[in-house]
Structure 1
Amino acid sequence: MTSRTLYLFGSAAPPVFQVAEVIETAQAGGWDVCLGLTPTAARWLEESLDDLGALTGHPVRSEYKLPGEPDVWPKADVILFAPATFNSLNSWALGLTSVFVVGVVAEGIGKGIPTVAMPCVNAAYAQHRQLDRSVTELREQGVTVLYGEGGFQPNPPGSGAPKGYPWDLALAAAKQLADQA
């Protein structure tokens, strides 16, 4: 099987602590995984970043490279942004790209890179009208957003169940997009 490259991006939400298991599952499915994190998610996983880099065989990135520096990752076949927080989704939909992973997915739309996003927001954030606007905007631009029926369902604030985050749906959607490309 020819290896395809998956950019796995994560925001600072509790399911990000499961990222090593997700990487291993993706690798077992034939993916070459490159891990990108928001700065806060990178801080949450700081003690395991070297191990995660060793697991993927690529440096974990949370910042833009300097102009003129070579790109250290292979080209993406698919991007999976999960967990994607309220802030990350809204920034992406609005084109606010000060965060590396948000900049890559925003540019990925224009480059035609198949992209899946799966939010991780609590029910209080889900009441904010901007979330639905952002999900609609991203979907209209061709992003597969796994939110609502058949995707992530918000929990009440403070009652999250990170072990119940539907990683299998996200990986299946990424595989489906790659197979269609």
Structure 2
Amino acid sequence: MTGDQPVLYLFGTGAQPVLTITSAVEQAQAAGWRVCLGLTPTAAGWLHPYLAGLEALTGAPVRAHYKLPGQEDVWPTADVVLLAPATFNTINRWALGLTDSFVVGYAAEALGRGIPTVALPCVNSALAAHPQYARSLETLHTAGARIVVPESTTAPGQDDTPGFDWPLALSEARQALTRQT
């Protein structure tokens, strides 16, 4: 922890709820977290006009890419990683160890380092029915990730999840930290 504030790495991916990630950052900060925001390249592209404001809000650079070799890390060490919203693609890449993006790579390393890691998927019902998705969820669970599967998914073909449950995601992150200490 940095001082009295636990450090939350909040990682967003290219699903519609990432457009409300400012609210999640504010909620996390109100709950006492120091937030470092990481985004997949797709999510960073969607939020490009807001990145400077998000950096001001968190007090840290928003990261969407790996740092260069030898470059000093500007973020404090994570106490918890929260991957939300987590797309079908991200869940599968994470489970398969395909770490070509900073967000997926760090989430994979966090499991190996024993850093509590929580994910709240945002996956429509057609993709959730794909057999690889269930295998990926099981792989991640076995590796130590806490995957919080929402009670409902959207209809086949819909990409959004109305009312994404940021409070649930943050509550699960807090519980993961509590179980760790």
Same topology, TM > 0.5:
yes
Q: How far, CA to CA, are the matches of 2:157 and 2:76 in structure 1?
A: 38
Once superposed, which parts of structure 1, at least 4 consecutive aligned residues long, lie more than 3 Å away? 157-163
- Residue 172, structure 1, aligned to residue 171, structure 2: yes
Pairing partner for 1:89 from 88, 91, 105: 91
CA distance in 2, matches of 1:33, 1:161: 25
Q: Map residues 28-39 of structure 1 onto 2, 5 A cutoff.
A: 28-39=30-41
One-letter amino acid matched to 1:117: A
- Separation in 2, partners of 1:159, 1:42: 21
8 Å CA contact 1:8–1:33 kept in 2: the answer is yes
SS at match of 1:91: helix
Q: From the superposition, tell whether residues 70 and 2 of structure 1 become closer, same or farther in structure 2 (CA, over 3 Å).
A: same
**In 2, Cα distance between equivalents of 1:127 and 1:119:** 13
Seen in structure 2, the aligned counterparts of structure 1 residues 161 and 84 have a Cα distance that, compared at 3 Å, is closer
Q: State the TM-score, normalized to the length of structure 2.
A: 0.95
Contact map agreement 1:120 1:152 (CA 8 A) in 2 = no
- 1:119 and 1:152 in contact (8 A); partners too: no
Alpha-carbon distance between aligned partners in 2 of 1:52 and 1:76, rounded to the nearest angstrom: 18
Structure 1 residues without counterparts, runs of 5 or longer? none
1:153 Cα offset (Å): 2.4
- Equivalent positions of 1:11-160 (< 5 A) are 11-147=13-149, 151=150, 153-159=152-158
Paired residues, number: 178
User: Given the two structures, how large is their TM-score scaled by the length of structure 1?
Assistant: 0.95
Please state how far the C-alpha of 1:162 moved relative to its aligned partner.
Answer: 4.0
Q: Could you tell me how far 1:157 is from its partner in structure 2?
A: 3.3
* Identity rate, percent: 53
Contact 2:11 2:84 in 1 (8 A): yes
Deviation at 1:14, TM superposition (A): 0.4
Aligned residues: CA RMSD? 1.3
Question: Contact 2:137–2:147 (CA<8 Å) still a contact in 1?
Answer: yes
Cα distance, 1:27 vs structure 2 = 0.1
